[in-house]
Amino acid sequence: MNQSPTNLIEIRDLKKTFSIAGVLFSRRLTLTALSDINFTVRQGETLGIVGESGCGKSTLGRCILQLLSPDEGQVLWLGQDLTRLPAEAMRKRRADLQIIFQDPLASLNPRMTVGDIIADPLRTLRPELNGAQRRERVLRIMEAVGLLPEMINRYPHEFSGGQAQRIGIARALVTEPKLIVCDEPVSALDVSIQAQILNLLAELKDEFGLTLIFISHNLSVVRHVSDRILVLYLGRIVELATGDEIYEAPRHPYTRALLTAVPVPDPKLARLRNIDALKGEIPSPINPPSGCTFRTRCRFAKPYCAEKRPVLETIENGRLVACHRWREIEVPEEAVLGA
Amino acid sequence: MNTVLDVKDLSVTFALRHSEVRAVNDLNFTLEAGETLAVVGESGSGKSQAFLSIMGLLARNGRTSGQALLGEVNLVGMAPAALDRIRGKDIAMIFQDPMTSLNPSLKIKTQLAEVLVKHRGFERGKAVHEAIAMLERVGIPEPAKRANAFPHELSGGMRQRVMIAMALLCQPKILIADEPTTALDVTVQAQMLDLFKTLTDDFGTALVLITHDLGVVAGVADRMMVMYGGRAVEKGRTDDLFYDPRHPYTLGLLHSTPHVAHRARRLDPIQGMPPSLENLPKGCSFHPRCAFCFDRCLEERPALTPIGDGREKACFYEGPLAGRKVA
């Protein structure tokens, strides 16, 4: 990375709420899934998004792809605001933005052949291609993801989870996108297969010059694939930094707690770690705590954390952190983090 | 050592319409009081079926042979009524998804108290009191209030704690936990694993942890049993298997597991995929995926053999595993 990287995506003040039914006859409630989301995705990088269930990571991925419409804010694609794009223009743009889902079998139509599944995006997004051209392209992509040409006429149920995920990846790649949002792409797979798919994604990223947004609850996996990592808590960004910075010197107490909770496949290290396990569980996004939303589980919280919400500030090297006390909190020892 | 469970030649078969599938073959192991044994493997390795069979919980087309000795009593082939007196009392099992194990229409306290009334002859008032005390011990805040809740009113982590509380009410000698933290967030998982450590220390319960996650194993297990294609392929102390694996499959699993402290190193996964039990490869089941495979492995199945230091492996290859890439 010699020259300054171009921003492929810029997210500005994004907010997304859902209206949900209240308990029996009471009025509807508003769940704020995301608020004050500001960050950029650089061309060619892998940006990891981590957080616990319900933190808004999948919602964020879907808002970027315009599969969900944000309530407020902008999603700038090379400077163009996707949220204001007319439907027809957005449809054309979709060839550039694709997604891979967690459950590979559930995301493939059981009544279509592998060839038709992979070719499907081409029918709508590249209507100028004829049947022969589509087939040629499908076969080329199948080879790239490690599927054999003779599999083209088979149906999804004939495949294992790992192979089904390869089909999902091929479908995402076939329109030659610039960005792929990977939403927990390996969580449902066996350990040995998970490693194969992670390696495949890394190879494809180089081969096709992709930018990846990698959403996962598994910090070891995110660490392995990401250049930069964004940490979400209750719908807000609490920290954004490079993988090395996050793992070597986490600034936000939540990032730090997440890291110390990750199990490490190393018994001696596991015994050394004094796990400062987070107390309790993630609060309800319907009625989040005042001030800093993390304060109810934070061992560094002070009374003023309940009064004022910390802003997301830029610290050294363009890192972002949202904590009143980040300056005062020492960086934990290496052993704690498993370095 | 005080052996609480002695499993000998345990096999599990399932009758299909035209054939039979062997899910577990000739499994032998012991479990000592207060220890944590991790049973590690991928889908189809037989790790769950082996313990479901010991608990008498197999699907109706399943058949178990061999022995599972709990003291003098053989659990295999025991009449359901007799098994009912032992299950939940001397040996308990918890599962990945607590919601499917709890009765959604009964309050937590009703479900917990039932265990004490049935197995320990408590009268109901005392049983509820005891149940609330146990909820507190497993780290549930405001236990008296939660005891009145229905399962759906609790979070996933809380429900798993309720299951653990239920399993421990009779102070069983053995707790079998099948992927107990897989559905939980990482911070809740850490709390859970901490709880397991406290429990084995305080109650002297022997814990069997069935999991695919080597990170979880490293943190809590004393010993490990690695399974592949329905058989144990390596057994030994946790540290020995992590730092000096002797079976190529154990090595492959370790190389496939990402470590939070490392990046950019390409993972070194095992090629191919776990075999189908209906169509296991001849010879060593692992040979099509093994980088150390030679002629003998294609024809003959290696037996699980002691290799000193309390370790066992099922592999013909005797050379060093370190430094050689798996496939």
Q: Residue B231: its pLDDT value, please?
A: 97
Q: What chain A residue is nearest to B252 in terms of C-alpha separation?
A: A192
> Residue A42: helix, strand or coil by DSSP?
strand
Q: Residue A334: its pLDDT value, please?
A: 54
Residues with Cβ within 8 Å of residue A204, at least 6 apart in sequence: A144, A145, A169, A173, A210
Q: Give the mean pLDDT per block of 10 residues along chain A (339 residues).
A: 73 94 76 95 96 91 96 96 94 94 89 96 93 96 95 94 94 96 92 92 95 94 94 96 92 92 90 73 87 93 95 91 91 55
Average pLDDT, chain A: 91
Q: Residue A339: its pLDDT value, please?
A: 43
Q: Over pLDDT 90: what percentage of chain B?
A: 69
Q: Residue B325: its pLDDT value, please?
A: 46
Q: Which residues on chain A are in Cβ contact (under 8 Å) with B273?
A: 160, 162-163, 190, 192-193
Q: Residue A274: its pLDDT value, please?
A: 63
- Between chains, do B252 and A270 touch, taking CB under 8 Å as contact? no
Cβ atoms of A110 and A155 within 8 Å: the answer is: yes
**pLDDT tens-digit series, residues A219-237:** 999 999 999 999 999 999 9
ipTM: 0.86
Q: Which of B213, B50, B277, B325 is nearest to A189 (CA)?
A: B213
Using the 8-state DSSP alphabet, how is residue B271 labeled? S
Q: Residue A173: its pLDDT value, please?
A: 96
- Between chains, do B267 and A281 touch, taking CB under 8 Å as contact? no
Q: Specify which residues A237 forms β-bridges with.
A: A232
- Between chains, do B141 and A162 touch, taking CB under 8 Å as contact? no
> Residue A250: helix, strand or coil by DSSP?
coil
> Distance (Å, rounded) from C-alpha A244 to C-alpha A259?
12
Q: Give the residues of chain B that fall short of pLDDT 70.
A: 1, 263-265, 322-327
Interface subset of A 135-174, CB within 8 angstroms of B: 160, 162-163
